[in-house]
Amino acid sequence: MRLPSYDVVIPTLGRASLGALLGALAKGAGPAPRRVILVDDRRQAEPGLRLAGDAAALGPLRVLASGGRGPAAARNLGAAASRADWIAFLDDDVVPAPDWRARLALDLASAPPNVAASQGRLRVPRPAGRAPTDAERRVIALEHAPWITADLAVRRSAFVSLAGFDERFPRAYREDTEFALRALRRGFELARGTRSVTHLLRPGGFASSLAAQRGNADDALLAALHGRRWRERLGLPRGRMRGHVLASAALAAALAAAAAGAALASLAAAGVWALLTLELFTARVAPGPASAREIADMALTSVLLPPWAVLQRLRGHARVARLRASGALAWPPLRLVLLDRDGTLIADAPGNRDPARVEALPGASTALARLRRRGVRLAIVTNQAAVADGRLSEDDLVRVNQRVDELLGPFDGVFVCTHAEGMGCGCRKPAPGLLLEAMRELDARPLECALIGDTAGDLEAARAAGVRAVLVPNQATRREEVLTAPERACDLEAAVSLLLGARA
């Protein structure tokens, strides 16, 4: 059985626990990762992350800086640097078990083709001699959470196809849930692996429960993207937002009635608020806080929590409204589409040197116009080996490309490899050189790009560049190329619809 290759990507804020993670990973048994990629997600990246001495056994660590844009952006940056079959994401506050590497290899090798990701088993140690605090119970609840990225290995082809994590989720909250919902909608599945990690038990202070309510803003975005019943689709319990809204409304009604001099109405509304607040406090205290101090803290935060949670949800709805108004509600923000030329945009005529023979394929003009209307930049990436073997001159190539631009342009760039097969260049597809050059010149990241082509060479170049790819087969496309394509469409217009999705 062939064991697939994997890279490990760790977004980190430079916490001391990173050293323990790397040390455990280095000492583990089983196939080692091809590469360990650390993404420093501090706003001001500092040299010298605190690493354990054993981490040297992993070989050179690649360290990238994401500028403090959040874990979703950090994971995307790390994934773009990976070239392995799978990307194993680990948070920097987990410690892999000694057999983690060996079990990961088996988990990945046994994953069916429709499995996009394999989730490890999370274990959270309980505090000794006392019941866990409210903050600690939130960490313990991660043991049963689906699709969390503390230990999530994602098939690289699926990651590229799904365009990674949605970077509009700025915290370590709901970005994994959104990725899961998008994967399920595309027909992928999640597997539970046999490997395990230990998640460190973080203490929480007085305000930790209030800070956690910021996630309600992310819930508003999640509902806008995937519908109000997104919890049911993942088998998650219903949240407490309805109770928070009722409690907040009752409190507001009590205050308004008191200001208007309606004493009975104010008393009735205050009674409803008191009952709802007492229910929340009781539910939080029931599992057994450790001290009288925590009980007092929970009493106060149970009063503050509902209106604060509602305020965060309203803040989230306001952000959704701004995104919808700007047309930026869909993910990912598609900024650049790379297009193969012959057989994709124009009829394939090998070695054609006559501009008059250039024929746009049916629907190509309409499809490209849709992309331009959405502000998507367009570039051609094409192999033209006929220049190398003398069938086509450089001037002929320029004239033919000018005719393509007249029929289907304007294009933001035309990137051509004129080398023959076997010359060992890095630009001829399936090498990624043309795509990387186009992204560099047009200032786009891989997760903001897509390629449309008609051969396996196009798809392989996209895979190597970390770009999503759609195959549009024609008569020259081999059957095996069609069967193995991660995404395919019947024509260019259908490919554009697939890429635009909800944006169309």
Indicate the range of 231-235, 280-284, 315-319 predicted with least confidence: 231-235
- Tokens 């970077």 correspond to 167
Of 61-70, 159-168, 235-244, 434-443, the range with the highest mean pLDDT is 434-443
67-71, 325-329, 436-440: which range is least confident on average?
325-329
CA angle (80 as vertex; 77, 85 as ends), nearest 5: 130
Q: What is the pLDDT of residue 504?
A: 37
Residue 48 — pLDDT band, cuts 50, 70, 90?
low
102 or 54, greater pLDDT: 102
| pLDDT on residue 45 | 67
Residue 208, token pair as written in the block: 């930790």
Is 1's pLDDT higher than 70? no
pLDDT at 502 over 70: no
**342 among known catalytic residues:** yes
Report percent pLDDT > 70 for the chain: 96
Is the pLDDT at 227 greater than 60? The verdict is yes
Confidence of residue 414 (pLDDT cuts 50, 70, 90): very high
pLDDT for position 163: 82
Say if residue 97's pLDDT is above 60: yes
Domains of the chain: 6-203 (3.90.550.10), 205-329 (no CATH), 336-503 (3.40.50.1000)
pLDDT at 424 over 80: yes
Which of 297, 340, 454, 458 is flagged as catalytic?
340
Query: What pLDDT score was predicted for residue 326?
Result: 77
Tokens (6 digits) for 43: 């706003």
Model pLDDT, residue 172: 87
Cβ atoms within 10 Å, residue 293 = 10
Which structure tokens are listed for 311?
């305020």
Residue 200 pLDDT exceeds 60: yes
Sign of the dihedral defined by the CA atoms of residues 329, 331, 336, 338, in that order: negative
| 430 upstream amide cis, omega within 30 of 0 | yes
Question: Residue 446: what pLDDT?
Answer: 84
The confidence score (pLDDT) of residue 106 equals 96
Strand-pair partners of 1? none
Name the nearest CA neighbour of 85 among 117, 55, 61.
117
Whole-number CA gyration radius for the chain: 27
Nearest to 195 by CA among 103, 119, 117, 123: 103
At 186, is the pLDDT very low, low, confident or very high (cuts 50, 70, 90)?
Answer: confident
Q: Indicate the pTM of the whole model.
A: 0.74
Residue with tokens 């209030």: 210
> In the structure, what pLDDT confidence band is assigned to residue 51 with cuts at 50, 70 and 90?
low
pLDDT at 503: 39
**396 belongs to the catalytic site:** no
Q: Which of 342, 396, 454, 458 is catalytic?
A: 342
Backbone angles phi, psi at 147, to 5 degrees: 65, 25
* pLDDT at 350 > cutoff 70: yes
